[in-house]
Structure 1
Amino acid sequence: MYSRFEDVPVWQESRKFVNKVYNVLVRNDKLRRDFSLVDQLKRAAYSILLNIAEGFERSSNKEFANFLNIAKGSAGEVRSILYILLDNNYISKEDFNILNTEILTISAHLSNFRKFLLSKSDYKK
C-alpha cells in the first residue's frame, strides 16, 4: 500500500488544507485577535493531519482506521468552526466555500479510506 504516511493521499490533502487555513488566519487581523477561536481551529486542523500520521504508524489496519475516525471527527469540528467564522464575519463567503468544500472532500476521503482498511486483513505488511 504506502510505505510512509507522507505518501497517503488524504494526508497530503490535509497538509495543503492546514496551510490554507493558516493563510486565512494570518491575513485577517480581526480573526487573529480572537485567540481562543484561532487556537481551536488550528488544533482541530492539525489534529486531522496528526491522527492520520499516528494511525499510519500503528501495527494494524484496525488501529489505523480508528485514528482515521478520530481525524474525521476533527474535520467535523473544523467545519463547525468555519460556520462560526462565517457567521461572525471573520471570513468571506468565498473563503468559507473554498475551505468548506475542501474539508468535506477530506472528510469523505477519510471515511472511504477507513472503510477500505477495515475490509482488508488486520495486520499491515
Structure 2
Amino acid sequence: MATIKRFEDLEIWQEARKLAKEIHQISLSTPLKTDFRLQQQIKASSGSIMDNIAEGFERDGNTEFRQYLAIAKGSSGETRSQLYRLLDYEYISEKQFVDLKKQYENLSGKIQNFMAYLNKQDFKGTKFR
C-alpha cells in the first residue's frame, strides 16, 4: 500500500465526501427541504463519516485512527437507517434508496477492510516515533 500523507488521499474519505454531497443535494431538491429535523440529522450523519475519517487520520496514531474509523462506520449505518425514513416518507424514490443504500454499504465495507488492514500493521503512528 502506498504511503498516504493526507486524509484527502484516502479513497474512503473521498467516497464519504461524494455521498455527503449527494445527501445535501437531496436535501435541496426533494420535500426533505421542509423536514428540517430529519434534514439536519441525515446531513450530520453523512458528514460525520468524512469528518471522523479526517480527525482520526490527523491524530497520527493507528489505535486512535481505528477508533475514529469505527465511529465513521457507525455514522454510515446511521445514515443508511435514515435513508429508510426518506423512502418511507416518500422523499426519495425506491431507485434512489437502493442506489444510496448500496453505496453506503460498500463504504462501510471499505472502512471495515481498512480497519482490518491497520489491525495487522506493526506501525503505531507518527506520533510514536
Same fold (TM over 0.5): yes
What CA distance in whole angstroms lies between the structure 2 residues aligned with 1:88 and 1:122?
Answer: 47
Aligned to 1:47: 48
Q: Which moved more, 1:48-57 or 1:85-94?
A: 85-94
Answer yes or no: is the 8 Å Cα contact 2:26–2:32 preserved in 1. Answer: no
Q: Which moved more, 1:115-124 or 1:52-61?
A: 115-124
Choose from 7, 17, 42 the match for 1:5: 7
| % identical aligned pairs | 42
What amino acid maps onto 1:10 in structure 2?
Answer: I
What CA distance in whole angstroms lies between the structure 1 residues aligned with 2:12 and 2:77?
Answer: 15
Answer yes or no: is the 8 Å Cα contact 1:14–1:48 preserved in 2. Answer: yes
What amino acid maps onto 1:56 in structure 2?
Answer: F
Q: What TM-score results when the alignment is normalised by the length of structure 2?
A: 0.92
Report the alpha carbon displacement of residue 64 of structure 1 after superposing the two structures with TM. 0.3
Unaligned 5+ runs, structure 1 = none
Unaligned 5+ runs, structure 2 = none
Aligned to 1:34: 35
Aligned to 1:60: 61
Answer yes or no: is the 8 Å Cα contact 1:62–1:122 preserved in 2. Answer: no
Q: Which moved more, 1:37-46 or 1:112-121?
A: 112-121
RMSD over equivalenced CA pairs, Å: 1.0
Aligned to 2:74: 73
Moved over 2 A (4+): none
Q: Write out per-residue CA displacement over residues 61-114 of structure 1, whole angstroms, 9 at most, x where no aligned residue.
A: 111000000000000000000001101111111111111111001100010001
Q: Across the two proteins, how many residue pairs are aligned to each other?
A: 124
